[in-house]
Amino acid sequence: MSESLHLWFEYILRFSHLVAGIAWIGSSFYFIWLDSAFVAPETPKRNVDGELFMVHGGFYYQVEKRKIFPGELPKVLHWFKWEATLTWITGFALLIAVYYINGATLLIDQQVMNLTQWQAIGLSLGLATAGWFIYDFIWHRIPSKAFNVVASLLLLVLIIFINTRTFSGRGAFIQTGFMMGSMMLLNVWVRILPGQKKMVEDAQAGKVPDYSFSAKAKIRSVHNTYFIFPVLFIMLSNHYSVIYSHPENALLLILLSVSGAMVRHAMVTNKPVERWTLAPAAIGIAALVFVTAKSYSMAPVTEGEISFEQVQPVFHARCISCHAVKPTDDVIKETPKGVVLENEAQIRQHLPKIMEMTVVAKSMPLGNKTNMTEEERRLVGAWVQSQMSARQ
Ligand code: HEC
């Protein structure tokens, strides 16, 4: 496939993933909000648990929260499942397009684990499947809620631990997001929809449905809301190599995930005292900033004047096998992100990113395939820093 076709394909996938995700998360937040805003009807109505009035775009809307009952089924019933499904499908397609193809170079880091492309893909899919079964077992089979919450947190830590010790930093982050997103989708299809369907069928058959299905579905639906912020944090953190390439990336990912879940809790709880969870979330995020700031401060300081002639051989030896108009790397055949580093003008276009990726986060050269040394990183760092301060 030509480079521009590939880019467009990826762009359309990314765009669809974003739009479907917005629709899914939007409707999810909307229903959580509805649940917290319902009030009991002024004159009690049969089977109606709560009602509320809204105004939007010049009209007034009345919504009732009710149980379904034989003989009272609406003609048209709207289900919410395609937002979730489309988000997952486009996300999975992106996972293939960005991480699984091209030798899975973005997923693998030979210094973390020496994997082949197919081993990496197999592990990614296998871990996602195993993760779902363990999570589902905990909540489906074990009745103690306190146990389940603790077990789920331990599972999260375990997943992050395994992922960061199997894949590249960036791969571990996306794999964790993939696993969470898959749990969310399976919650919808395996644990929420079948119960709802059964209740509708019973009501159609004239039977009073088993309302315990509602309570069970609600638990998974609430879980999904806890996943939202961690997953979003993860997707965005992919643009920040300083986070995912950090030596403590497992800790950072745990902080990101737990802080995200706590922000969610404060946001949707209808008990103001429970907003205290914002405090640990803020501490978690402050800790993230602190830990990653330290790696920035370790960046080298300028030691005398360094000329471009001194760093050029480094770029030549370590970067241009991939970052050339015609890459010579055995796997990378298209210039990555269009970043060409063959001459001074091209290199100067990317100074801040080069600093971030080569000197601070060390996520470039990819998997250090070209064996860049620490000495070379310091040299490039000193040169880039002098160029950037000269610009200011
Ligand atoms: C083995 C191939 C390979 C080598 C060698 C390599 N890179 Fe990269 N680089 C990549 C790939 C692949 C990407 C795109 C990653 C992505 O899709 O986000 C990339 C992306 C980048 C980016 C763009 C980041 C962004 O998000 O905009 C910069 C800057 C960069 N590399 C700098 C370097 C520098 C500097 C070197 C040499 C010190 C280097 N790379 C060596 C493969 C390589």
220: exposed, middle or buried (Cβ count in 10 Å: 0-12, 13-18, 19+): buried
Q: Which residues on neighbouring strands pair with residue 54, listed in sequence order?
A: 61
Within a 13 Å sphere around the CA of 383, how many CA atoms are in the beta-carbon half?
23
Q: Where are the domains of the chain?
A: 74-296, 308-391
Among 239, 241, 322, name the best residue to mutate to test ligand 1's pocket (greatest count of ligand atoms within 8 A of Cβ): 322
Listed residue (198, 203, 266) closest to 32, CA to CA:
266
Query: Which is it for the CA torsion 79, 84, 87, 92, positive or negative?
Result: negative
Per-residue b or e along 366-390, where b marks 16 or more CB atoms closer than 10 Å to that residue's CB: bebbbebeeebbebbbbbbbbbeee
Per-residue confidence of the chain (392 residues) as pLDDT tens digits?
Answer: 566 788 888 899 999 999 999 999 999 889 888 888 899 998 888 888 899 999 999 999 999 998 888 877 888 888 888 999 999 999 999 999 999 988 898 999 988 999 999 999 999 999 999 999 999 999 999 989 999 999 999 999 999 999 999 999 999 999 999 999 999 999 999 999 999 899 989 988 888 888 888 888 989 998 999 999 999 999 998 888 888 988 889 999 999 999 999 998 888 777 888 889 999 999 998 988 888 876 665 455 555 678 899 999 999 999 999 999 999 998 888 888 889 999 999 999 999 899 989 998 888 999 889 999 999 999 999 899 888 877 66
Atom of ligand 1 nearest to the CA of 350: 29
Nearest alpha carbon, ligand 1 atom 37? 319
* Extended strands (E) in 24-114: 48-56, 59-66
Contact 225, 268 (CB under 8 A): yes
The pTM score is 0.83
Listed residue (172, 193, 174) closest to 182, CA to CA:
174
Q: Which two tokens stand for residue 61?
A: 């809307």
Residues in contact with ligand 1 (CB, 6 Å cut-off)? 105, 318-319, 321-323, 329, 332, 336-337, 339, 341, 350, 353-354, 357-358, 364-366, 369-370, 372
Distance CA 133, CA 110 (A): 29
